[in-house]
Amino acid sequence: MTPDPLALEIADRGEHALARLAALRSLDPPTTGGRILSYVYDSGLEELDELATRAARLAHGVNGLDPTVFASVAEIHGGIVDRVRTILGGVTDAGAPGGDAAGGVVPGGAEVYGSVTSGGTESCILACLAAREVSGREPGSGGTIVAPVTAHAAFRKAAHLLGLRFVGVEVDPATGRVTAEELLAAVDERTVLVVCSAPAYPTGVIDPVAEVAAGLEARHDPRIGLHVDACLGGLVLPFWPSAEPTGPTEPGGSEAAALWALRVPRVTSISADLHKYGFAPKGSSVLLSRGRERHRAAWFATVDWPGYPVVNPTLAGSKPLEPAAAAWTVLEALGDDGQRELVARTARATDRLVEGLSTIEGLRVLDRDPGPLLAVAMDDTVDDGRRVHPHLWADACGRRGISVQAQPAHRQGRGTLSSSSHLTVTPVTERLVDDILLVAREAADEVRGQGAPTPPAAFGDVLAALDSGALSPGDLLALPEDDVHAMVSGVLSDAPDDGAGGGMAPLMAAIERLPADVGARLVRAYLAAVME
């Protein structure tokens, strides 16, 4: 048989492309090994990554769009939903509470159904879409999503896309918390969905789900949804070893499930990301919904076009099976005991980090609940000269090879939430705690007493003009995109070429000085300039 000349040529060019890809990947920080304390969730087990890769390869080529053609799609999605529903204390569609020997009890009076999505943002958007549909409100007719300001930005995005309004309820600036009463005070006849987080990404605080549920139950229309955003916590809190209950420690069966998961009957939906503490590759999350109506309300179907009948349970049309197949395999491989052990490692690492960071002069660890997130801010009880600004500290950690995530201060009427830096702790972190704390101390020593960072020089004119009133925020919003681009490109070209772009502190300082809509425009232009 003569070899296909096209195949030979493609193989040759493909090898070159792969070599270039490998070189490009070497520009990235390592995604395993624990030196990045956000974005990546590393089990620390190479075997698990290897399994996920093999699973993805087996699923290669399948179009998840159509389970009637590809039978594996329904089985894999069904298996994932079953597993996550059990962990979160839901009931199966047979009416038996997952993992609960007591049986028969059907919290909320309806079974729990689920969709596998591409990530937390998609799960959250679909929860909002379902809530809007169940409410019967038209897009743009004033329907609201009520959530603490600490709820993930995905809900603001959902409101933007779905013709809803995001009503952010201010939190106590000292603790990052809202009471159920404060949250419920924002609920009215326009509300389609109330959102609580378990936990909130910026703070690690778990919102008072059970109290909010009780208040909604007592006083409000049953069609108003209550979504628990457990994108981060869903697969970690139920296994968290803690004196205080943080969720269903015996999957589906514990008293603690009453705190925030599906055991709270008034909770109507919950999102949990597999690509976070499910230790699966990026591209998988689950949305669980109580009752067929709410579950199916997020779907889109049409036969009103000349092509195939369309039924999309999620936002995408054609979609890969790879992420779901990888997530399913990882869930199966870990089981309860594997998950519990990985979470125990995470918890030990978190405790040691919190303890160590708390002793660094000039920094303080923000109020939080048990779980793998923590944020540090400046300790303003010490003298000016001893304070450590968390963004300068983050950049100094970055220069030493440990990446933590800067979070800008958030202005609200009750008082500003401080600038902070966020750390996501994963199982692999346990091996690195001493290294991380060493870096954290050195970085704090380097920047202690330096004062607040200043915005990039390229923004100087604009900020001065805003301050003097020569330019209004409206003028800035009206600027043509090319002018904004030119301004932001100046920031990028001024930045020292140290791979970290000179750090994030100056950009954060600019964001903190600008009205939020202007800041959003600038960060959009910034990312676009990076990508161009």
Ligand X SMILES: *Cc1c(COP(=O)(O)O)cnc(C)c1O
Strand partners, 147: 168
Scanning 21-29, 229-237, 313-321, 495-503 for contacts with ligand X by CB under 6 A, the matching segment is 229-237
Q: 98, 119, 208, 503: which one contacts ligand X (CB under 6 A)?
A: 119
Task: Tell me if 49 sits within 8 A of 32, measured CB to CB.
Answer: yes
The verdict on 505 binding ligand X (CB under 6 A) reads no
The verdict on 124 binding ligand X (CB under 6 A) reads yes
256-275 positions binding ligand X, by CB under 6 A: 273
Contacts of range 500-503, beta carbons closer than 8 Å, 24 or more positions apart? 500/395, 500/398, 500/399, 503/391, 503/392, 503/394, 503/395, 503/398, 503/399
What is the closest distance, in whole angstroms, from the C-beta atom of residue 204 to ligand X in the complex? Answer: 10
| Residue 419 DSSP code | P
What is the closest distance, in whole angstroms, from the C-beta atom of residue 229 to ligand X in the complex? Answer: 5
Q: 34, 98, 114, 120: which one contacts ligand X (CB under 6 A)?
A: 120
What is the closest distance, in whole angstroms, from the C-beta atom of residue 371 to ligand X in the complex? Answer: 11
CB atoms within 10 A of CB 465: 14
176-205 positions binding ligand X, by CB under 6 A: 197, 201
Scanning 70-78, 120-128, 260-268, 413-421 for contacts with ligand X by CB under 6 A, the matching segment is 120-128
What is the closest distance, in whole angstroms, from the C-beta atom of residue 312 to ligand X in the complex? Answer: 18
CB of 201 or CB of 393, closer to ligand X:
201
The verdict on 232 binding ligand X (CB under 6 A) reads yes
CB of 86 or CB of 197, closer to ligand X:
197
Q: 42, 49, 229, 369: which one contacts ligand X (CB under 6 A)?
A: 229
Tokens 């059990």: give the residue: 86
CB of 40 or CB of 458, closer to ligand X:
40
Contacts (Cβ under 8 Å, ≥6 apart) of 126: 115, 117, 287, 298, 314, 315
Q: 43, 86, 121, 405: which one contacts ligand X (CB under 6 A)?
A: 121
Contacts (Cβ under 8 Å, ≥6 apart) of 129: 158, 162, 297, 298
What is the closest distance, in whole angstroms, from the C-beta atom of residue 196 to ligand X in the complex? Answer: 10
CB of 372 or CB of 456, closer to ligand X:
372
What is the closest distance, in whole angstroms, from the C-beta atom of residue 166 to ligand X in the complex? Answer: 14
What is the closest distance, in whole angstroms, from the C-beta atom of residue 344 to ligand X in the complex? Answer: 21
266-325 positions binding ligand X, by CB under 6 A: 273, 285
Task: Tell me if 284 sits within 8 A of 327, measured CB to CB.
Answer: yes
Contacts (Cβ under 8 Å, ≥6 apart) of 232: 120, 197, 199, 201, 273, 276, 277, 371, 372, 373
As a whole number of Å, the CA-based R_g of the chain is 24
148-167 positions binding ligand X, by CB under 6 A: 152, 154
Phi first, then psi, for residue 435 (nearest 5°) are -60, -45
- DSSP secondary structure, 19-73, as one string: HHHHHHHTTSPPSSSS-B-SS----S-HHHHHHHHHHHHHTTT-BTT-TTT-HHH
> Which chain residues interact with ligand X by CB under 6 A?
119-121, 124, 152, 154, 197, 201, 229, 231-232, 273, 285
